[in-house]
Amino acid sequence: MLTQRKQKHLGRLFLFVSALLLSACASSQQHMVHAAIRGDNAELEELLRAGKADINLADEIQGDARELCPGHETLTALQGAACSGKINTVKKLVDKKADINAMTASGETALSLAVGKGHDDVVRLLVSSGADPDTRDKNGNTLLMQAADRGDTQLVELLLKKNASVSLSGNNGVTALMVSESPGIAKLLLDAGARLTTTKNGESAVHYAAMYKSAEMVKFFIEAGVPADLRRADGKTALDLARERLRAENGAAGTENGATRRGLRLGAAAMRGQMMARRAAASPAKTQEKVGTSVCEVLEAEMGRLIETDAKDAERAAALGDFKDAMAKYSATIKKAEGVNDQLEQKLRVDLVKYVSTQETPPMLSESSREHLVRSSYMLKRGQDQAMVEKELLAVIDTDPWWTDGYYNLGVLQTERKEYDKASKNLKTFIACAPVDPKAQAAQDKIYEINLAKEEVARVFGMSGNWIGNGQSFRVIIGDDSVNITSGWLSFSLKLANGALSGTVSGPSSPGAHGCTIPAQSHQVTGRLDANARTIDLDYIWANYETKFHCVNMAGAPSNCCLFCTEVCDATVITETPNISLHLTPAP
């Protein structure tokens, strides 16, 4: 016992002496940097007074100091104090004429370090003391962009007073104006000379606001003159992006407000967390608000207004007898209306068809349309992918939207592909455009069939949930043409076609008797799903196994199985493969 105590005592003494030796070996310069990071102004003052350290020289940080400023190998005293948020130390070093814009090895300054850590008081002090207001973070964002994005009006005002540039953009091409959190901040930036621009990929302030800001900001930028119908390089309008945002919000119900928001990727999680905390404290009800709905409403209303204005221009061109101009304007307006307002889009298509029918010499399909039409016919004859045929027909309609037969052909094809909503829309457009056409009645009958098919689909989808069969509980998930059924270790992966089921049933390997492992299994399955009776019937086989083994004694030699013997697996053998009939009904 005495020896153990001596060893413990010697170990502690060794650690103490080692710490003293490391401290003694540390340079005065390193002491100063560490003192600044800790906010030890007394030690810092003593080192500066003795002239033992250079206020602007960087040195390696170690131990606890590195935990306060992770990711940095060397820092100056001012950079360290800014990183750890020690404002009194920062003030002392600034008063001592420390280089406020000195950069770390990775190109960061005391200001960018404070911004990244969310030390707002240090940020304001550094800016007021002459730090470069156009300092950028690793993503190329200036402090003005970050302040505008955070909604920090006071910091924006301070930066503008310090002549921060309002025209700089980040690596992603956005400017401080584009990311403004509030109309007040946006007005400040506009008054300071900021201009509404687009990024290299065609993204405007309305696009950005539709994705990450409020409906108020979307409306502000529209009123400031940014067209709501602009398309990015990928063809998406602000409304397209707003609807994607709404779907994401609906899919992430219950998550913290802003969890899917990209913003400027301001770096430190602490900064974003502090911002969220401040917003939640200021308006707790908004933390669960889904802004995608209101953003969509603003954009849908504005797009509707633009479409109606363009439609009137097309009508005027038609009334003036300018056929070429009218056709171009109708086509452009129809394209703009797609996905925005189905009723308005259909009216435009009908108006175009009626206008074309008034011409003494109806137009011919354009050469590009004829090419797409021939390609679609060729693919159908060869039995090729219907998705490709649909693409070709859509190209014809897109180029020559007055071609009425295209809507019928497209509607019939989409019905076969079970794209019921699209099919119904095109068939209705055909009927509206050509009510006396012999195919109009067939189109209406097809719509009735579609409605019935949609009812059946709804019944099938409604069967997802908990089911029971053969004394077991099952979880059923139904997709467009698939059914997945699970029960513990058993898993069915099935295809659904007109009520018929086919696929596989599988189960993983599992521990068996006598140290053996029962192999994994996978077998074919057939069955039937009856949406009206609300039943699922499956037929498959499943193998039963028997284990073979022998025993060994403690010396490892074969022996009769005794109390201290070990069972050794020799083999697993299939004894039978019975047919299994599984009848499932909804759980009560």
| CATH number for the domain harbouring residue 373 | 1.25.40.10
Structure tokens at 478: 């139904």
Are 36 and 53 part of one and the same domain? yes
Has residue 289 got a pLDDT over 80?
A: no
Q: Which of these ranges, 11-15, 211-215, 364-368, 537-541, has the smallest mean pLDDT?
A: 11-15
Report the alpha-carbon distance of residue 140 to residue 137 in Å, rounded.
5
Are 149 and 113 within one domain? no
Q: Are residues 484 and 565 in the same domain?
A: yes
The reply to whether 386 and 437 lie within a common domain is yes
Residue 82 lies in a domain: yes
Domain shared by 107 and 172, yes or no = no
Residue 565 belongs to domain spanning: 465-586
In a domain, 447, yes or no: yes
pLDDT class of 290 with cuts at 50, 70, 90: low
**Residue 436, domain member (yes or no):** yes
Q: Is residue 535 predicted with pLDDT exceeding 80?
A: yes
Residue 303 lies in a domain: no
- Same domain for 142 and 190, yes or no, is yes
Count CB-CB contacts under 10 A for residue 97: 9
Cα-to-chain-centroid distance, residue 279:
22
pLDDT above 70 covers what percent of the chain? 89
Residues 117 and 228 in one domain: no
In the sheet that holds 558-559, the strands lie side by side as: 558-559, 544-552, 566-576
Q: What is the dihedral of CA 180, 182, 185, 189, to 10 degrees?
A: 50
Q: How far apart are CA 580 and CA 485, in angstroms?
A: 15
Residue (of 123, 131, 190, 128) closest to 150 by Cα position: 123
Residue 402 DSSP SS3: coil
Residue 2 falls inside a structural domain: no
- Using 50, 70 and 90 to split pLDDT, how confident is the model at 277? very low
Do both 405 and 500 map to the same domain? no
Same domain, yes or no: 393 and 496: no
Looking at residue 32, its pLDDT comes to 83
Which domain-ending residue is among 106, 132, 158? Answer: 132
Closest to 249 measured CA to CA, from 308, 188, 290, 208: 290
240 part of a folded domain: yes
Question: Do 302 and 228 contact (CB within 8 A), yes or no?
Answer: yes
pTM for this structure? 0.70
Is 231 contained in some domain? yes
Do 143 and 257 lie in one domain? The reply is: yes
**Does position 233 have pLDDT exceeding 90, yes or no?**
yes
Q: Same domain for 444 and 376?
A: yes
Give the contacts of 587 (CB within 8 A, at least 6 positions apart): 465, 466, 467, 468, 473
Centre a 10 Å sphere on the Cβ of residue 244 and count the other Cβ atoms it contains.
14
Three-state SS string across 294-328, please? Answer: HHHHHHHHHHHHHHHHHHHHHHHHHHCCCHHHHHH
Same domain, 125 and 156: no
CB atoms inside a 10 Å sphere around CB 434: 19
Instruction: Give the pLDDT band (50/70/90) at residue 286.
Output: very low
Domain limit, last residue, from 459, 490, 517: 459
Q: State the pLDDT confidence band at 24, using cuts at 50, 70 and 90.
A: very low
CA-CA-CA-CA torsion sign (450, 451, 455, 458)? positive
Number of separate domains in the chain: 4
pLDDT band (50, 70, 90) for residue 81: confident
Residue 384 has a pLDDT of: 84
CA distance 394 to 416: 16
Nearest Cα residue to 34 out of 83, 95, 99, 71: 83
What CATH number is attached to the domain comprising 185?
1.25.40.20
Q: Which of 269, 298, 316 is the last residue of a domain?
A: 269
**Interatomic CA distance for residues 336 and 571, integer angstroms:** 69
337, part of any domain = no
